[in-house]
Every structure is written in C-alpha cells, then in structure tokens.
C-alpha cells in the first residue's frame, strides 16, 4: 500500500543545493586536503554536513572558466587523528535547504589523479597499451573515471618476484560502474583478472606475483562498458592484508561479538550502534581496505551447530560450508503460532549464498518454501532496483505441533567459506512497517511537499495514524 504524507513549512526556501561531484573523490588519511563540491545552487554560506571526524573551513571562491556562479564550493578539510579508512557521507547545508548525499573515501596510500581525468585533457588518452599512463611506485591510489565504453590502461614497472594486491574501489564508494581489473604482461597476455571479488560486492581485487623484471599493464573497465554519470573509480596498488570471508555476518546490538575476518580474530563492538541501525562495519585493525558490512539485530543469537530446538525470537548464525549441504534447525512452536523466517546473506554483500529456506512439520510435510521463486516486483517503488533478494517465509504451526524444522540451502547447491547466513525466527504479531523511499526533502517557503510512504502490513489491517516528529514550523 502506498500513502502520501503532506508536510507544510513556513519560512524562506530558494533553489535547493545539489551535489553532482566531489573533487577529489578520496584522500589519504592523516593529511589535510581541499575538498571542492561541484553542483548547483552552492552559494556563499554553504556548510558541510558529514560524519567524518574533521573540520571543514570554507575557502574563498576561485574563478573557474566556464562555470557559472553557484556551481562549486571549496573547503579546507583538516581530519582528526581518529579518522579511519572508510567512506563518509558528504552533504551541503544552506539556508535554502540540504543537498543530496555523496560518499567521500579515505584511504591509506598517497593519492594520484588519472591524467585523462584532469581538466582540459584529451579523451581516450590512455585506452591502449601504446598510450598507457605510467603508474608511480607502490603503494598508491589512482583516482580515475570511465567515460562510456572505454578502458583505462596503466603501465607498471615491476621486479621479478614482486607481489602486489591490485584493487578497484567503485560501488563501495558510490560509483555506478561495475569494475573489472585485468593484468597483462608486456606482450598483452593476461596474467590475472578480477570481477566481483569476495566481500567487495561488485568491486574487483586480485593479487599478482610478477614473473620477471619489466613493464606490466593494469586495465580497468566497466563490466558492461556502460555509460554512467557516477563513473569514477579508485585503483589501489600495494602490499596489504585483506579478508576474503567473514563469520558470523552480524551480531546482537549492545554486545561485543567475536568475528573471524579472513582468519583474523577481531571483536565487533556493537555497544554504541544506533538503535535504528541494522548494519554497521568491521575491519582488520589498521587495515588499508575499506571496512566490511556487519548486520546488527536485537534478538538473542546462537551459532551453528545447534542440537536442541530453539525458541523464537532468535537469530541463528550459520554457513553452508560445502557444496550440496543443507542446514537443519528445529524451532519450538505452539499450535497455530504464526512464524516468520528471514535469511540475511547475499543482500548484505558479504555472502555468495542465494538462500532457499523451507519449513517442515514434525512428519516432514512442507509448510512453506521461499528463495527459488521469481523476485517480487514492487510496482509502487520506482526507485528500487535489486539483483538479489534474501528470502522471507511466513508459516503457521499445525495443530498439536511442538516443533517445526527449518532448512537452509543454496539455490545452486554451492557452498564454501563465503556462504554464510543469518536466519532470524520470530513469532508474528499483527504488525506493519513503514518504508520511506525519499532520502531527504526540502520544503518550499510557506508551502508543502508530498512524501511517499510505503506500508508493509504483517497481519495488521487496521487504521494507521502517521505523525512527523520534529516537523518544521
């Protein structure tokens, strides 16, 4: 069900600020830098809103040829010592409203800019081995862009036996490209290729040991050679530790949770996680890689293997460790209980599992199954675009039942270290959920605006009264 909520305001509001780009897209931690916000309606008085631990001092506007007034605003950014490697939201606040959000990335290595990305540079100037741009000595981060169906080629001088990690940060930083990395030798022979690396979502990472002294070529392109407005990427080369698996995929809010991250044992501190947040991030201490998403829940948690029947509510942390494995759990029930089984896996970006969940009664009769049907299409949500959907299953316990069995498996019968999951089991109350598809709103002076609200009902069919907390006056 789709509702529209009207919110009115009194005051002044001109054209709202809009961010179309950030210059640069990233910076090395521990160093001050100048951040230029590019967009529209960025007049004097603009301020930066961000969770980045840093001070943002407005700089006097400089004249840029061909750019109209209000198209950019620059700030001196002085990070604190607590600034960690990661992505941070950037918005512009002004008297006439707040802007959309863009992500800024903080890295561990010195930063460079692709020659082709500089103002006034010729397009397609590094698209071949013959015109490849020379890379500096590692470690470094090269900031580049892909203008449509092109590929960027870089030349790297390596020594025999030199081992390097080569990675592209794109989707994790807010870019729309789906990056591919390929490493070629001096003759154009492929030594390594990466697309959709473990724990990186659609981003790419490979590790190469160069066989001999000489020049090698790093090729970056979009997997579909598509044209995107957000077309930037960050090519990172160095020798650094990284994880290819995480387990468990999440933990309970307000607890200290032991986590295995690529074989390293760390502790996820969930004690300070906001009550509304369902995801936080974890990382190897002092790591050069971006942190990994980590789910946060409020129900009691258990780890596989689980021998006894569990009582709802509960979250079971498991993993399909080998191909063809089917995990089974028994859940305590009473006659007529309405239960919801929800899997978190692929949608977190830290699991390859395309989960199928099945619930059976005490005699093995199937009560329900989810995960192998076509993706649901929300015709009301025009902003939604999903390539994965973890299953949710609702069933009712049979009369006289004391337990039901729930199974979890991979749709393609795969398995391995990257096939973890979280299975949440709840008794269904008559409830509903409100979903806002609008990231932010600006209200015209003395006017109002409509905000679409999607109502997801879970057994509750009554009236819903909406109230906007701290509404503008």
Identify the band that residue 448 occupies on the pLDDT scale cut at 50, 70 and 90: confident
On the question of pLDDT at 472 being above 70, the answer is no
Residue 431 pLDDT > 80: no
Query: Is residue 382 scored above 50 in pLDDT?
Result: no
Reported as a single tens digit per residue, the pLDDT across 70-104 is: 899 999 999 998 899 999 999 999 888 899 999 99
Of residues 261 and 431, the one with the higher pLDDT is 261
Q: Is the pLDDT of residue 230 over 80?
A: yes
Res 449: pLDDT:
74
The residue ranking higher by pLDDT, 455 or 229, is 229
Mean pLDDT calculated for residue range 348-373: 95
At 10 the pLDDT is 44
CB 75 within 8 A of CB 37: yes
- Per-residue confidence (pLDDT) for residue 177, from 0 to 100: 95
Mean pLDDT is highest, among 159-163, 222-226, 286-290, for 159-163
Residue 228, both tokens: 């995107």
Instruction: Determine the Cα–Cα distance for residues 332 and 466; give it in Å rounded to an integer.
Output: 36
Q: Could you read off the pLDDT of 102-144 as tens digits, one per residue? A: 999 999 999 999 999 998 888 889 999 999 999 999 999 999 9
Q: What is the pLDDT of residue 223?
A: 95
- Residue 450 has phi, psi (to 5 degrees) of -100, 130
211-215, 357-361, 466-470: least confident range: 466-470
Residues 73, 20 contacting (CB under 8 angstroms) = no
Q: Would the pLDDT of 254 be above 80?
A: yes
Say if residue 11's pLDDT is above 50.
no
- Residues 269-283 have a mean pLDDT of 94
- pLDDT higher than 60, residue 303: yes
The mean pLDDT of 190-215, rounded to a whole number, is 96
In this prediction the pTM is 0.86
pLDDT for the residue numbered 383: 43
Q: Is the dihedral of CA 155, 157, 160, 164 positive or negative?
A: negative
- Edge-to-edge, what's the strand order for the sheet holding 448-458? 2-8, 448-458, 431-436
Mean pLDDT of all residues in 376-394:
62
Residue 109 has a pLDDT of 98
Q: What distance in Å separates the CA atoms of residue 318 and residue 264, rounded to the nearest whole number? A: 18
Higher pLDDT, residue 262 or 411: 411
Reported as a pLDDT band with limits 50, 70 and 90, residue 61 is confident
| Domains, the chain | 18-107 (2.60.40.10), 111-238 (2.60.120.380), 246-297 (no CATH), 301-428 (2.60.120.380)
447 pLDDT more than 80? no
Tell me the C-alpha distance between 124 and 143, whole Å: 16
Residue 380 clears pLDDT 60, i.e. is over it: no
% of the chain beyond a pLDDT of 90: 75
Can you tell me the mean pLDDT for 227-231?
A: 92
| pLDDT, averaged across the chain | 90
Task: Report the candidate in 83, 93, 113 with the shortest Cα–Cα distance to residue 37.
Answer: 93
């Amino acid at each position: 069900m789709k509702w529209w909520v009207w919110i009115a305001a009194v005051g002044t509001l001109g054209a709202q600020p809009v961010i179309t780009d950030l210059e640069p897209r990233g910076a090395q931690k521990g160093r001050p830098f100048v951040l230029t916000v590019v967009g529209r309606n960025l007049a004097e008085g603009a301020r930066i809103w961000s969770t980045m631990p840093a001070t943002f001092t407005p700089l006097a506007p400089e004249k840029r040829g061909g750019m109209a007034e209000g198209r950019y605003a620059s700030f001196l950014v002085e990070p604190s010592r607590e600034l960690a490697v990661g992505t941070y939201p950037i918005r512009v606040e002004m008297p006439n409203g707040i802007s959309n959000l863009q992500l800024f990335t903080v890295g561990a290595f010195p930063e460079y800019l692709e020659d082709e990305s500089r103002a006034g540079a010729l397009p397609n100037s590094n698209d071949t081995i013959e015109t490849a741009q020379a890379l500096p000595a590692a470690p470094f981060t090269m900031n580049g862009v892909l203008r449509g169906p092109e590929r960027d080629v870089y030349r790297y001088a390596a020594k025999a036996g030199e081992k390097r990690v080569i990675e592209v940060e794109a989707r994790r930083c807010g870019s729309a490209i789906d990056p591919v990395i390929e490493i070629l030798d001096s003759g154009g022979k492929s030594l390594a290729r990466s697309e959709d690396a473990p724990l990186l979502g659609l981003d790419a990472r490979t590790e190469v040991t160069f066989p001999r002294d000489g020049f090698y070529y790093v090729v970056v392109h979009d997997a579909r050679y598509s044209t995107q407005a957000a077309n930037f990427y960050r090519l990172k080369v160095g020798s650094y530790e990284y994880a290819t698996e995480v387990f468990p995929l999440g933990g309970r809010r307000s607890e200290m949770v032991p986590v295995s991250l690529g074989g390293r044992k760390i502790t996820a501190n969930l004690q300070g996680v906001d009550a509304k947040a369902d995801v936080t991030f974890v990382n190897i201490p002092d790591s050069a890689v971006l942190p990994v998403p980590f789910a946060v829940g409020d129900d009691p948690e258990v780890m596989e293997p689980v021998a006894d029947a569990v009582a709802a509510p509960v979250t079971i942390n498991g993993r399909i460790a080998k191909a063809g494995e089917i995990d089974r759990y028994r859940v305590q029930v009473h006659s007529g209980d309405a239960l919801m089984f929800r899997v978190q896996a692929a949608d977190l970006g830290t699991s390859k599992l395309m989960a199928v969940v099945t619930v059976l009664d005490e005699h093995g009769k199937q009560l329900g199954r989810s995960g192998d049907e076509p993706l649901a299409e929300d015709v009301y949500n025009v902003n939604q675009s999903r390539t994965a959907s973890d299953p949710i299953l609702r069933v009712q316990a049979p009369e006289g039942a004391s337990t039901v069995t729930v199974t979890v498996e991979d749709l393609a019968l795969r398995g391995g270290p990257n096939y973890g999951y979280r299975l949440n089991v709840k008794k269904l109350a008559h409830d509903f959920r409100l979903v806002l598809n609008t990231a932010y709103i600006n209200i015209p002076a003395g006017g109002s605006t409509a905000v679409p609200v999607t109502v997801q009902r879970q057994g509750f069919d009554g009236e819903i009264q909406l109230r906007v907390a701290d509404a503008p006056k």
